[in-house]
Chains A and B, each alone.
Chain A
Amino acid sequence: MPGLGGRMSTVIKAKISRMLDRAEDPGETLDYGYQKQVELLQNVKKGIADVVTSKKRLQMQSSKLEQNIVKLDTQARQALSQGREDLARLALERKTLAQTELQSLDSQVKELEAQQEALTANEQKLRQKIEQFRTKKEVIKAQYSAAEAQVRISEAANGVGEQMADLGLAIQRAEDKTETMRARASAVEELEKAGTFEDLSQLGGGQDDIERQLSELTSGAQVDDELAQMKAELGSGGGDAPALEQGEEKA
């Protein structure tokens, strides 16, 4: 017996052996087995479609992060032009965090794309095996006695079941991965939303948890560099600085 199961494979295997136990007539078992396989193939297709949907959601989150980066950059410039270096620094820290998250999100979406291709290819293989089972069942029905047929068919059905279970496991893994990525991206989005840039007086005050987290996470050097660069740009840009928008901007 294979040592590795995975919950998914155990469930599907149990289903298949139950269905084999139930029927007494091998011919009936065969037809029912085939019908069940075709049904389960629909589940597999739905599973792959779910992975694609999750991937699309991640891509949407990625473009939201891109918008946030632009917005935070603008806010940093506005703050700096009003002489609020503390706020500018805060905005840049958040921008750095968003950029880091965007990079990892983009590379993971690419990885997911490759997985999706592999899943589709394996679904094709499974379809072939089910087709093979269909052919084989007719041969078995015609050639073997009931007892012999029962043995042969459970072997073949388990072979198909294993393939199906394995694909199910791969789909589940891909889904779990997208869930983790989505949760992380949402957390970063929340950070941006929680940023009280709409109420500057409030922001200037106490250090909250988010800020502390941010300073731990973001590289201070990068923020310093960007801040210096922004200062230089604003300095050379002449006196009339853009007015700070308060609470107007909401992506």
Chain B
Amino acid sequence: MIVRISGEGQFRLPDEDADRLNELDNRAVAAVEQGDETGFGELWSQMLELVASDGNALDEEELTESDVILPPRDITFAEAKGEFSGDGLIPD
């Protein structure tokens, strides 16, 4: 699975991580819907950590489309409301 962190680059993650990432994504949507900024912040850090720990940066020369695009690292809670809604980043 290829994941892009917006503004940073692409990472290759084991396919098993898709479920974990999707679960975090759904919980992040729930946190945003409840207006829970702290909760969202924690989930967002966990998503970034997952990419950092399991992902390998793609070679600059690879021309591949991402399966998931995560928003910029410094996303604000207000911006998150636009991104983490409905199915979230990953359609269920």
Partners in one complex: yes
- Which residues of A line the B interface, CB within 8 A? 1-6, 9, 118, 122, 125, 128-129, 132-133, 136, 155-160, 162, 166, 169-170, 173
* Contacting residues, chain A, for B68 (C-beta < 8 A): 2-4
Q: Is the CB of B65 within 8 A of A3?
A: no
Contacts of B63 in A (CB 8 A): 129, 132-133, 136, 155-157, 159-160
Chain B contact residues, majority secondary structure: loop
- Report chain A residues within 8 Å CB of B65: 2, 155, 158-159, 162
- Once A162-B66, A169-B6 are accepted as A-B contacts, the answer to whether A125 and B60 lie under 8 Å apart by CB is yes
A sample of 19 more A-B contacts (CB under 8 A), given A3-B91, A170-B6, is A3-B68, A3-B87, A4-B6, A4-B68, A4-B71, A9-B69, A122-B7, A125-B60, A128-B60, A136-B63, A155-B63, A155-B64, A159-B64, A162-B4, A162-B66, A166-B4, A166-B69, A169-B6, A170-B7
List of B residues within 8 angstroms of A170 by Cβ:
6-7, 72
- Within 21-63 of B, Cβ neighbours of A (below 8 Å) are at 25, 60-63
- A128 and B83 form a contact (CB under 8 A): no
Q: Which residues of B contact A173 (CB under 8 A)?
A: 72
* Residue in B9, B72, B89 whose CB lies within 8 Å of A2: B89
Given contact pairs A166-B4, A166-B6, A2 touches B67 in the complex (Cβ within 8 A): yes
The smallest C-beta distance from A7 to any residue of chain B, in angstroms, reads 10
- Beyond A129-B60, A155-B63, A158-B65, whether A3 also contacts B7 by CB under 8 A is no
Number of A-B contacts (CB under 8 A): 66
List A contacts of B61 (CB < 8 A): 128-129, 132
Main secondary structure of the interface of A (DSSP, over half): helix
Taking a contact as CB atoms under 8 Å apart, the answer to whether A118 and B6 are in contact is: no
Q: Which residues of B contact A (CB under 8 A)?
A: 4, 6-7, 9, 25, 60-72, 83, 87-91
Report, nearest first, the 10 A-B pairs whose CB atoms are least far apart: A159-B63, A3-B89, A2-B69, A156-B63, A158-B65, A4-B69, A159-B64, A170-B7, A132-B61, A4-B89
Residues of A close to B66: CB separation below 8 A = 2, 162
Q: Which residues of A contact B69 (CB under 8 A)?
A: 2-5, 9, 162, 166
Q: In the assembled complex, how far is the CB of residue A56 from the closest CB belonging to chain B, in whole angstroms?
A: 23
A-B contacts, 21 of them at CB < 8 A, read A2-B4, A2-B67, A2-B68, A3-B25, A3-B83, A3-B88, A3-B89, A3-B91, A9-B69, A118-B7, A128-B60, A155-B64, A155-B65, A159-B63, A159-B64, A162-B66, A166-B4, A166-B6, A166-B69, A169-B6, A169-B7
Residues of B within 8 A of A136 (CB): 63
Chain B residues whose C-beta falls within 8 Å of the C-beta of A155 in the assembled complex: 63-65
Q: How far is the CB of A34 from chain B (nearest CB, A)?
A: 12
Residue of B nearest to A2 (CB): B69
Residue of B nearest to A115 (CB): B7
Least CB distance, A37 to chain B, in whole angstroms: 11
Select from chain A the residue with minimum beta-carbon distance to B88: A3
Residue of B nearest to A160 (CB): B63
Tell me, rounded to whole Å, the shortest Cβ–Cβ distance linking B13 to chain A. Answer: 14
Q: Report B-chain residues with C-beta under 8 Å of the C-beta of A4.
A: 6, 68-71, 83, 89
